[in-house]
Structure 1
Amino acid sequence: MALRIMKYTLSQWLDNQQTALLQHWSNQLESAASPVAVQSHIDTKRFVLALIAAAEGNELPLRELFTDWITGETEPDVPAMVRSLHYLHRTLRTTLLREPAELTIVDALADLFEQTTTILIEIWSEHTNQLIQEREFIAASLDSASAAADQRALQLKALNDISQRLSATLDRDELLEIVIDSLYRLTEAHHVAVWLVDEQQRLKVVATRGNGDGPTIGYVLPETNPVFQTAFQNGVFWPAPSADPTHDWLIAGCGVLIIPMTGGTGLIGAITLQELQNPLDLRFMQDLAQSIASQAAIALQNAELYHTIRTLNTELEQRVIERTRELEEEKNRLATLHAIAAQVNQTLDLDQILNNSLTMLARIVQAEHASILLTEEDNPSLLVTRAILGKKVTPDNTVRFAIGQGIAGWAAQHGQTVLVHDVAKDERWITIPGSSRKREGSMIAVPLFVQGEVIGVMTLSHPQTHFFSEGHVRLLNACAGAIAIGINNANLFRMISAEAERRYELLDRQQKETSQIAAILQSLLDGVIVCDLYGGVISINQAASRILHRPLEELLLWNLHDIIHRYLGNHAAELPLDDLLRRPLTVDGAARTFTTTAVIAGKTINFALSPVLKDDDELLGALLVLRDITREVEADRMKNEFIGTMSHELRTPMTAIKGFTQLLAMGGLGQLNDTQREFVNTIYNNTERMINLINDVLEITKIESGSIDLEWRALHLAEALSGVIAELQPQITQRRHQLTILLPPGLPLIRADSMRLHQILFHILSNAVKYTPAGGSITIAAREVMNVDLPEPIRSTLSDNRRYLLLSISDTGVGIRPEDLPRIFDRFFRSDNPLKVEAGGTGLGLSIVKPLVELLGGRIWVESTVGVGSTFSLVLPVAGDHS
């Protein structure tokens, strides 16, 4: 307990003196005369802290400090360090004695430095002993390595000798003798054997050397042998194999070493070494045996490749000889083919081609009889003789075969060349009546193909059986193609010549017709302009040049679009050329036609635009016909003026008659009896009817003369309908009709004339009221639509890119007969129905409505079923939509 207090007191004193001690120690290190100057590489602070820890009883920091210093890179000077510790002890003791302190602390200081010196010497002694042991181990290792190097050098020399011997031969038996002899001599094993993989992929002993009852040459290893299977991967050392029937190749009591031999193609064999006296010695021979096995594998593989190459060379020489013979035959065949092709290409006369080909082929193959049969043009199922070797084809020697009959017919039917070695034994032979040919000898029948179809058969025969060979077949097959091409060319030439002659006649006729048409076109009084699919002008007559007041040459350079826009201006949309070229036909398949009029140089010209179509409705372009209708317009104007004047002259007295009749009816000239009142009312009603008729005639006259002035503005359909309904409300109420109006919110405004729109709606709605039996229903509906929403006949007459307002007025009236629908808008036409007399009228209302609707840029049409009712529909363009 006293010692622990004493040490703690020493450590406390050292801790208190730490700063002064460090300063004093640093000053001593900086002094060149100081014995510790050489130790300046020691961490002074770490040393002082380790010394304080040792005073507290913890030696570990001090040991770690000395260990790092002794084992560092710089060689430690232990004696100098001991002197330094002694010097430091004296310095601390002197400092301690200057202070009043217990003697036990002074003694503890001495013990501390003695302990420090002892630790230093222990660590240095341990380090020195370790260095001595390492140097002794290195010396022993060097001796061992030197001996191993000597042994390795001997082995490398032996391997070098073996390698040179193996490289000196490519004979398999010599290589095996070198390998087995070298292994037995270098390893001094009891038994050595070389195994190689045979053709059945089995290991077979091919060389042995040694004593005992080991495997002999020719021994085959069982297919499943776990020892060899493992050896094929890493090699096997088996120091003490156990007795096993599957290991009958083992020598009793011997250790065994198995070394696999592998090459580029995989496992090629194995080497086994068996040792009786010192089995463990095989372990040290493994590297040497492995090296010899590797060299042996390469040498054996090279020998096998050499043997294979020699075999291939022998086979190649034989193939070269055979190929040379084949090339010679091919050369002769190509020469023949070239001669045939040249002969065939010299002419396009079919008979000359056939006869020349037969003569040449018969001479080459030495045939005595030959012929060519071709299929008939009118009946491809028959073969007809077209050429006979050495003879001219006549009706007497012409033969016809049905395809499938005879040898030639069989070749044509199956599309295969027939080689008959003995026609007497062939069942396909057919004897031709009246022919002198005997059924003997051999024959070849070759089909002639053009684009995969049989056009004929070529036959060659010889009185000797087995005369023709496969070489003849190959030659004739090659020549058949050239002959077939020549025949086809001749046929094509004949057909082309006939077709050319026919087309020449057609062209001549067409040129005459074209000249006639051009003459007719130029003689027409109406102007005609024809354009292509893009609007380019391709034809124009003098009348068009005269009407348009432009030179013909200038108009030919224009586009039809330019002509329409230049002469119609704002009315160019009435002849929609682009729309016509995109869609020339209606849904019913009829050609679409657009007409309009314009005034050019004081003359009224009618423009009629229609498509130009072929018989199969293929579009070729468009046709614009210009007709001067100035006289017709002037005559119509005079007629309208006359009718207008007469109507005015008639309306003046009628107005007076109506006024006086109304005055009489009201009793202005005295009271009337019932008979007089009935007469007066009759006069008044007929006068009213005559005035309405005269007004309608005047209205039609204005429409036809184009003298109607329109006040265009944006109108609400609801406002226009309200005025008409208010005017007809007494009649609707009187006939007890149910009126339904369906106008969705947000309907766009329409662009129209308010008075003319009122007139249109009044006539349509008035007819619905009059021609619907009492108690019926009338429905008015409207909605915004595009062109695609309209029926095809209407859609084709309107612009594709505008919005429209569709108004439908439907009733449950008597309806209109289907045969009357096309005439419903004609003047003075009234369809027969039960309410015709009761409704009255002149038949001019709808004839006024239709041109007024079209004048406003719209269209009107009717759908009706007798007994069910009618629906009048009209479309008007939306205001402000000029797209």
Structure 2
Amino acid sequence: MRNDLTTWLSAHRLDLSAQWADLIGDPLPPAIGEQADDDGAVATISSPVVSVDQLYDLLIMAADGDCAALDSRIHAISHSDDIRDQALNERLGRAFEFRRSFRTLLRRHISDPARVIELIDEFETLFEYVLSTLADGWAAHNAEVIREREFIAESLDSASAAADQRALQLKALNDISQRLSASLDRSQLLDLVATSLHRLTGVVHIAVWMPQDEDLDCLVADYTCGEDAEQTQGMQIAPSNQQDLTCRAFATGRIQFEMVPDAVQQGAWYRSGCGVLALPMLLHEHAIGVVTLQDPNPVEQLRFQQDLAQGVISQAAIALQNAQLYEKVRALNVQLEQRVEERTRQLQEEKDRLATVNEISAEVSSTLDLSSLLNTSLTALASISQAEHASIMLIEGDDSSLLVTRAVYGVPPSPGNYIRFPLGSGIAGWVAQQRKGVLVDDISTDERWVSIPGSSLRKREGSMIAVPLLMQGEVLGVISISHRESGFFQEGHLRLLNACAGPIAIGVNNANLFQMITAEAERRYELLDRQQTEASQIEAILQNLSDGVIVCDLYGSVLMANQAAGSVLGRTIEDLLLWNLHDIITRYLGPRSTEMPLAELLSRPLDAHEQRRIFTSTAKVGLRMVSMTMGPVLKEDGQLLGALLVVRDITREIEADRLKTEFIGTMSHELRTPMTAIKGFTQLLAMGGLGPLNDTQREFVSTIHSNTERMIALINDVLDITKIESGSVDLEWRSLHLAEALSGVMSEIQGLIGARNHELNITIPPGLPLVRADAHRLHQILFNLISNAVKYTPRGGKIWVQAHEAHVADLPDYLRSSVAADKRYAQVNIRDTGVGIDREDVSRIFDRFYRTENPLKIEAGGTGLGLSLVKPLVELLGGKIWVESTLGEGSTFSFILPAI
């Protein structure tokens, strides 16, 4: 039969769906997940409309036995938000309208009553199924809605109760806050915190722990509430116990909560079986106290009320800070009032002191006479302080360790009153030594008092004040006042005397300075008279000197010149005074003015040995030869005043030296001629040319020959020195290698080195530059230096000959200024382990005929001309020579020659 209903519904689809759409009037929601529109979109979240055609298809499927899709659609309609607020009757009315439309259309198209009844029965069955399904869905939906609304109602009731409780808590917090802000007493605040928390939370026990002092070494239970509060009150715990929850909260500044703490780790304050909530009072992130709450129900009573308790404690911390600040402000106000009163009193006393000091200063500044000054000051001071006795003792001028009485109030000056006290003796001596004033209430009980035998001026009774007279930290004396009544003087008198001591000390110092200046003026006048007399004598001596003297200042300006200087230089004294010493040197030396560097002398007057630098030169002035010597003018303390130039006519000396040189040269030639003959005949005898010789004769001939050679060598040295001094030395300049020169010397001196068993080391680096020199003179230089090292080195010694390219920076300081820095030089060092040279003899080692005292002097022999010949030869070749030696350790002779 269902197939008949399905067939009929499908056949009359257009008519029945059109009437149904008119009856329904608005769309229905589709089932979740079904297609809702023509473009195939699937409903997931929103509920699109369902067409009548779709619903009609579902009815056909249900009539055919497939009710699942229709059930889903009816369920969606029942739970749709779009129809949730619409009445069930309205929906049922529309369903019955569809039922009537179906019956009307069925009777209109089918005339067979039996078939109509059959189709109506089938439709009624389907219709009842739809109504039953719709009613069940609607009932389930309403039941769900009722449950939701009941839940909402319960939630609203719970929220309302919580809000009421929160409002009560806020009201309580507000009340507590007002009460906390109304009090600035610390005890009241702590009591209020404990009682309020106990009343609000209802916990079993509350304790407020505060530090006992600023050292934070002990926490004290200042206030407690609840059960056994008296036992906990005043209990102390050490904050160092970090196992204790209270101590941990105080140390860390964090809330500590434990439901079942270990009783062993907690202090005696812990109640067994209770949970603990320790809340720190934080102020600027630092704990200033701890509040502990204990209760057997830790979750309900402690954890759930933690925020409430924390709110009260936070406000309490602020209130405690305000109370602390209030106490500080009160203390500061009290202290300020006391300071104002004290300062007012001090200002009044200062005013009185200033008036007194001003009065005394006026008296002091009116005179420079010491006696009048002291008596006037004592009179004014005794009058103001009402002292019966007063005196001033001053440091004795000749002996700073004694105090002498210079003025006594009410007693005329007398030598008998001038009492001397050593520093440190008596009260006055103690004051002078300690440099501070003293107030003695009773002299009879002071151990520093010293009685003066036979003196009636001071008795051992009454009170006394003594203060030092200080000037720029120096003790000038002591001023003292006394009274026969014990305890008469007060601190104000001491301050007054200290204030007056300053002007009196200034007056004493001024009087002393006046006396000193007067005496100094007289002394300086006498010294000036003496200096003028001495200057006149020095001027007379200077003008009568045979040598010319020119003195300049630090800038070279000529300050003084004597008559001899003008005569030697061929100028008037007026001309010399107008010139600068630089100009004088340049005018007479010309290009050789660098030999006397005035600017260098004024900038560096001392050499490396802290000795005065002396520069010498010669100049030709007309037909005369003039010697010029320049040096610094220094005071005893080393201060440079200027420079001194001494000029001397050495024309006769040069002529005499020339004649002497010619005479020595002539005599040397005359001596050399017979010496040559003697040498030749001795050689002939030694070779047996005049017959055989016995051993004795051969020894005598050998002695004559060796001494003849020594005489010839001496004559040659004298001739060389004569030629050098006369400037007649002929030089054959050529490029030489130092190795070549050393090889010739070694061939001559090797025998002597072997005889003395010396060890010789020669070092010549590759690439050593050539030198431009005379081969014969270079041979003389090397031979004399090496032979000198061989002779003055004990047997078995060591000798080093080293050659290398020299650098100006490595030369001794006193040689650098005389060596051109832009030229190349080759340097030779001859070093030995010989006897060495004493420091005092180094400066004379190149003098003629000078030989130092040493153990090898006799064994070495010689005349002392070797080194005196070496130095001028080195300088003649354009070089420099110097020596460094340590007595007993050896010597090093070094020289440099210009390199190519």
TM range (shorter): 0.5 to 0.7
Q: 1:743 to 1:410 in 2, by over 3 A?
A: closer
Q: Distance in 2 between matches of 1:698 and 1:851?
A: 13
Q: Are the counterparts in 2 of residues 271 and 293 from structure 1 also a CA contact under 8 Å?
A: no
- Contact 1:581-1:611 within 8 A present in 2 as well: no
Task: Give the one of 482, 487, 497 matched to 2:508.
Answer: 487
The equivalent of 2:351 in structure 1 is 331
* Contact map agreement 2:588 2:619 (CA 8 A) in 1: no
Closer/same/farther in 2, CA of residues 274 and 366 from structure 1, 3 Å limit: same
Equivalence for 1:443: 464
* Alignment partner of 1:502 out of 508, 518, 523: 523
Closer/same/farther in 2, CA of residues 214 and 688 from structure 1, 3 Å limit: closer
* Partner Cα distance (2:364, 2:36) in 1: 120
Task: Name the stretch that deviates more: 162-171 or 443-452.
Answer: 162-171
Q: Deviations over 1:191-231 (max 9, x none)?
A: 9999797989754569x9xxxx9789999354469898899
* Aligned pair partner of 2:591 in 558, 569, 572: 569
User: Counterpart in 2 of 1:16?
Assistant: none
Map of 1:384 onto structure 2: 404
CA distance change for structure 1 residues 717 and 740 in 2, over 3 Å: closer, same or farther? farther
Distance 1:824 1:176, change over 3 A: closer
Name which of 414, 422, 428 aligns with 1:402.
422
Question: Contact conserved, 1:787 with 1:798, CA < 8 A, in 2?
Answer: no
Tell me the TM-score normalized by structure 1.
0.62
Tell me if the contact between 2:607 and 2:613 (Cα under 8 Å) persists in the aligned partners.
yes
Q: Does 1:609 align with 2:630?
A: yes
Structure 2: runs of 5 or more not aligned: 1-33, 59-63, 82-140, 214-218, 239-243
Q: What residue in structure 1 maps to residue 233 of structure 2?
A: 220
1:252-401, aligned counterparts within 5 Å? 313=333, 316-401=336-421
Matched, 1:461 2:482: yes
Q: Which runs of 5+ in 1 are unaligned?
A: 1-34, 43-65, 88-109
Instruction: Supply the AA of the counterpart residue of 1:332.
Output: D
| Cα distance change, pair 734–326 in 1 and its aligned pair in 2 (3 A) | closer
Q: Is the 8 A contact 2:255 2:277 kept in 1?
A: no
- Is it true that 1:875 corresponds to 2:857 in the alignment? no
Q: SS state of the match for residue 410, structure 2?
A: coil
Q: Which whole-Å deviations, capped at 9, do the CAs of 1:77-133 have from their partners, x for residues lacking one?
A: 38489969x99xxxxxxxxxxxxxxxxxxxxxx99x999999999999999899979
Give the direction of change, closer, same or farther, for the CA distance of 1:342–1:783 in structure 2 (3 Å limit).
farther
Normalised TM-score (structure 2): 0.61
8 Å contact from structure 1 (residues 370, 389) kept in 2: yes
Query: Of residues 583, 602, 606 in structure 2, which corresponds to 1:584?
Result: 606
Aligned-pair distance for 1:328? Answer: 1.9
Name the structure 1 match of 2:28.
none
> Structure 1 residue 699: deviation in Å?
4.9
Is 1:420 aligned with 2:391?
A: no
Residue equivalent to 1:97: none
Match of 1:77 among 28, 48, 73: 48
Stretch of structure 1 that moved more, 347-356 or 229-238:
229-238
Task: Provide the secondary structure at the position in 1 that maps to 2:606.
Answer: coil
Q: How far is 1:442 from its partner?
A: 2.3
AA aligned to 1:781 is: V
Matches within 5 A, 1:616-765: 622-637=643-658, 699-722=720-743, 742-746=761-765, 748-758=769-779
Distance 1:565 1:260, change over 3 A: same
**Are the structure 2 counterparts of residues 157 and 560 from structure 1 closer, same or farther at C-alpha, using a change threshold of 3 Å?**
same
Change (3 A) 1:563 1:235: same
Shift, 1:361, TM fit: 1.6
**C-alpha separation between the residues in 2 aligned to 1:686 and 1:164?**
132
Q: Which amino acid aligns with 2:762?
A: L
* C-alpha RMSD over aligned residues: 7.1
Match 1:855 to one of 858, 868, 876: 876
**What residue identity is the alignment partner of 2:764?**
P
Q: For residue 433 of structure 1, what is the amino acid of its counterpart?
A: G
C-alpha distance in structure 1 between counterparts of 2:415 and 2:40, whole Å = 133
AA in 2 matched with 1:743:
I
Q: Name the CA shift for 1:531/1:193 in 2 (closer, same or farther; >3 Å).
A: same
Letter in 1 for 2:44: I
Matched, 1:475 2:488: no
Partners of 1:661 and 1:156 in 2: how far apart? 141
Which amino acid is 1:336 matched to? T
Which moves more between the two structures, 565-574 or 468-477?
565-574
**Conservation of the 8 A alpha-carbon contact between 1:612 and 1:620:** yes
Aligned partner of residue 489 in structure 2, secondary structure = coil
Q: Is the 8 A contact 1:180 1:192 kept in 2?
A: no
The structure-2 alpha-carbon separation of the partners of 1:197 and 1:690, relative to structure 1 and needing over 3 Å to count, comes to closer
Instruction: Kindly provide the amino acid, as one letter, of the partner of residue 720 in structure 1.
Output: A
Q: C-alpha separation between the residues in 1 aligned to 2:878 and 2:73?
A: 123
Given that 2:210 and 2:289 are in contact with CA atoms closer than 8 Å, whether structure 1 keeps it comes out as yes
1:440-492, CA deviations, whole angstroms, 9 ceiling, x for partnerless residues? 33222333344555442222111222211222223223333443343334334
In structure 2, relative to structure 1, the CA distance for the partners of 1:603 and 1:194 (3 Å cut) is: same
Contact 2:440–2:446 under 8 Å retained in 1: yes
Any idea what the Cα deviations from partners look like across 1:668-712, whole Å, max 9, x if unmatched? xxx99999xx9xx9x999999999998777655543332334444
Alpha-carbon distance between aligned partners in 2 of 1:662 and 1:248, rounded to the nearest angstrom: 133
User: Contact 2:275–2:295 at 8 Å: present in 1 too?
Assistant: yes
Residue 364 of structure 1: how far off its partner (Å): 1.6
Q: SS of 2:393's equivalent?
A: strand
With 522-531 and 229-238 compared, the bigger mean Cα shift is at: 229-238
CA–CA separation in structure 2 for the residues paired with 1:282 and 1:838: 115
2:279/2:310 contact within 8 Å kept: yes
C-alpha distance after superposition, 1:253-284 (max 9, x if no partner): 999999988778966797999999xx969998
Separation in structure 2 between the aligned mates of residue 354 and residue 266 of structure 1, nearest angstrom: 68
AA of the residue aligned to 2:426: G
Following superposition, the deviation at residue 644 of structure 1 comes to: 6.7
- Counterpart position of 1:105: none
Contact 1:526 1:627 (C-alpha < 8 Å) held by counterparts: yes
Percent of aligned positions with the same letter in both sequences? 46
* Shift in alpha-carbon separation, 1:306–1:624, aligned structure 2, 3 A: closer
CA pair 271-331 structure 1, distance change in 2 beyond 3 A: farther
Inter-partner Cα distance in structure 2 for 1:688 and 1:288:
128
How much has 1:400 moved relative to structure 2? 2.1
Tell me the residue number matched to 1:15.
Answer: none
1:762-803 deviation line (CA, Å, top 9, x unaligned): 77789999x999x999978354477898999x9699659685
Moved more, 616-625 or 217-226: 217-226
CA distance in 2, matches of 1:460, 1:137: 103
Aligned partner of 1:60 in structure 2 is: none
Q: Tell me, what secondary structure is at the counterpart of 2:899?
A: coil
Higher mean displacement: 165-174 or 453-462: 165-174
1:547 to 545, 548, 569: 569
Residue type matched to 2:401 in 1? Answer: S
Distance 1:81 1:603 in 2: 154
Residue type of the alignment partner of 2:653: E
Measured after TM superposition, the shift of residue 363 of structure 1 is 1.3
Mean Cα deviation higher: 542-551 or 397-406: 542-551
